[in-house]
Amino acid sequence: MKYDKAIFGIYPRSENLRVSIGRHERGKLDGSIRDIIADEKRKFYDFARKSNVRIAGDPLFNWHDIYRPLFSLFSGLEQGELHRYKETNTFYRKPKIVGTIEFVNDPLKSQRDEFATPVYLPDGNKIENFFLPSPKCLLADSENVKSDSKVNLLNAYRDLLESVKPKTTVFYEHYDLDEALLNDIASLGDSSTFIVVTPESNTAGKNINKESNFKGIVSGNPEDLEKNLTISKESFIPFWNCKKTSIESKAQVNNLLDRIKNKLADSNKYTICNTDFFDFLPRDIADKKIAFDGVA
Q: Which residues of 115-139 are buried (b: 16+ CB within 10 A; e: fewer)?
A: bbbbbbebeeeebebbbbbbbbbbb
Selected from 60, 97, 285, 290, the binder of another protein by CB under 8 A is: 285
Q: How many residues bind another protein (CB under 8 A)?
A: 27
Q: Which window, 9-17, 97-105, 197-205, 258-266, contacts another protein (CB under 8 A)?
A: 9-17
Q: Please tell me the distance from the alpha carbon of residue 165 to that of residue 130, in angstroms, as a whole number.
A: 9
Q: How far is the CB of 33 from another protein (least distance, A)?
A: 11
- Of 63 and 103, the one with the shorter C-beta distance to another protein is 63
Q: Which window, 20-28, 128-136, 215-223, 224-232, contacts another protein (CB under 8 A)?
A: 20-28
Residue 133 interacts with another protein (CB under 8 A): yes or no: no
Q: What is the pairing mode between strands 74-84 and 91-103?
A: antiparallel
Closest to 47 (Cα-Cα) out of 10, 7, 3, 1: 7
Q: How far is the CB of 35 from another protein (least distance, A)?
A: 17
Specify whether the CB–CB gap between 146 and 173 falls below 8 A.
Answer: no
Cβ neighbours, 10 Å, residue 69: 23
Q: How far is the CB of 264 from another protein (least distance, A)?
A: 29
Q: How far is the CB of 165 from another protein (least distance, A)?
A: 30
Instruction: Mark 222-251 with x for binding to another protein (rule: CB under 8 A) and - for no binding.
Output: ---------------------xxxx-----
Q: What is the pairing mode between strands 74-84 and 53-56?
A: unpaired
Q: What is the pairing mode between strands 269-274 and 236-240?
A: parallel
Closest to 236 (Cα-Cα) out of 46, 9, 7: 7
Specify whether the CB–CB gap between 84 and 91 falls below 8 A.
Answer: yes
Instruction: Mark 68-107 with x for binding to another protein (rule: CB under 8 A) and - for no binding.
Output: --------------x-x--x-xxxx---------------
Cα–Cα distances in angstroms (integers) from residue 136 to residues 73, 141, 192, in the given order: 18, 9, 20
- Of 257 and 286, the one with the shorter C-beta distance to another protein is 286
Q: Please tell me the distance from the alpha carbon of residue 101 to that of residue 160, in angstroms, as a whole number.
A: 12
- Of 93 and 261, the one with the shorter C-beta distance to another protein is 93
- Of 22 and 99, the one with the shorter C-beta distance to another protein is 22
Selected from 3, 7, 8, 21, the binder of another protein by CB under 8 A is: 21
Element (H, E) at 81: strand 74-84
Q: How far is the CB of 90 from another protein (least distance, A)?
A: 6
Q: How far is the CB of 143 from another protein (least distance, A)?
A: 14
Q: Which window, 8-16, 96-104, 166-174, 187-195, contacts another protein (CB under 8 A)?
A: 8-16
- Of 146 and 244, the one with the shorter C-beta distance to another protein is 244
Q: Please tell me the distance from the alpha carbon of residue 35 to that of residue 175, in angstroms, as a whole number.
A: 36
- Of 103 and 240, the one with the shorter C-beta distance to another protein is 240
Cα–Cα distances in angstroms (integers) from residue 123 to residues 45, 51, 120, 199, in the given order: 13, 22, 9, 31
Q: How many CA atoms lie within 13 A of 144 on its CB side?
A: 13
Q: How far is the CB of 64 from another protein (least distance, A)?
A: 5
- Residues contributing to the site for another protein (CB under 8 A): 12-13, 15, 18, 21-22, 25, 64-65, 82, 84, 87, 89-92, 243-246, 279-285
